[in-house]
Structures are given as structure tokens and as C-alpha cells.
Structure 1
């Protein structure tokens, strides 16, 4: 990776997560059936804020991660590089 060691990137960017996901993906991540998801949408009780795009509903990734209690932490470039070296079996000896 390029970048200075003191620079960071959000967790969602490191793993290439989309900015938004559809209702099907959000429901699946939350362990909900589509019937339950649509019922909750209709009642206004879906656990994440929704946005309409045409006829579809979308959920912002940060909102979904927050509901799943996954922090979108800042990852330092040097940690990413160290992790890649470790995964490749390269030691710093």
C-alpha cells in the first residue's frame, strides 16, 4: 500500500464494502426474513434508517454496521502492510 504510516483508512474501505446495500442484504445480515423485513419497513420499525431509491430500499453501510455492533474503525496503513506480511508468512526477523 502507498501512504505514510500515520495515515489511516476506514475499515469499510479496506474490505471494499459498498456505501449502501439493498434491503435483502441488510435483512440477511440482521438475520431477518424478507417477510419480516418488509413488515418492519411498513411499520416503520426496521432497525436501520432506510432510503428509497426508485422502488427499492437501501441502507447505508455505517448504519448497518452500527446495528450489527461492528465498529468502522480507522485502520493504519502500516497495520495493513504488517497484516499482509503476516498472512504471507513473512517475518520481520
Structure 2
């Protein structure tokens, strides 16, 4: 019996590698005592996401996006608008 082995797509490899980096960051944060994202507001998580955009680490940004997603929340538009205004006023 001949079995076909499906080639792993490069997208899947990239997502798996990125997920591993996200998990490592989450574990490091837990080790520092950080927790509570499952009950955090979308405004708070959006603020942290935007704050980490400025810091430049895409893994941190992805983790905050994941938190919003897993909480069934969307990016808080008011927080984003306030951020844009603060940038324009600078």
C-alpha cells in the first residue's frame, strides 16, 4: 500500500516557529508573575499591543493580538484613535 506524505508548506513551518517564540515569551512572562489576560478588557490589551508596537518586537505584538482573539475581543478603536491623536499632536 502506497502512502503519500504531504509536504509541509513553508507557511506552516513559519507559523509553527512563530508560535514557539510566542509560547517562550508567554512562559517568560508567567515566570515573572504576569497573568490575568483572560479577564483583561479589550481597551487594556489594545493599549498594551500598541505600546509594544512602538517597542518593535513582533512576538510581543502577536501575543497581545492572540490574547484579544482568545478572549473573543476586537482591537479597541477608541484606544487606537487616542494613540493616533497622540502621535499627531507630537
Q: TM-score, normalised by structure 2?
A: 0.27
Name the one with the larger strand percent.
Answer: 1
Q: TM-score, normalised by structure 1?
A: 0.26
Name the one with the larger helix percent.
Answer: 2
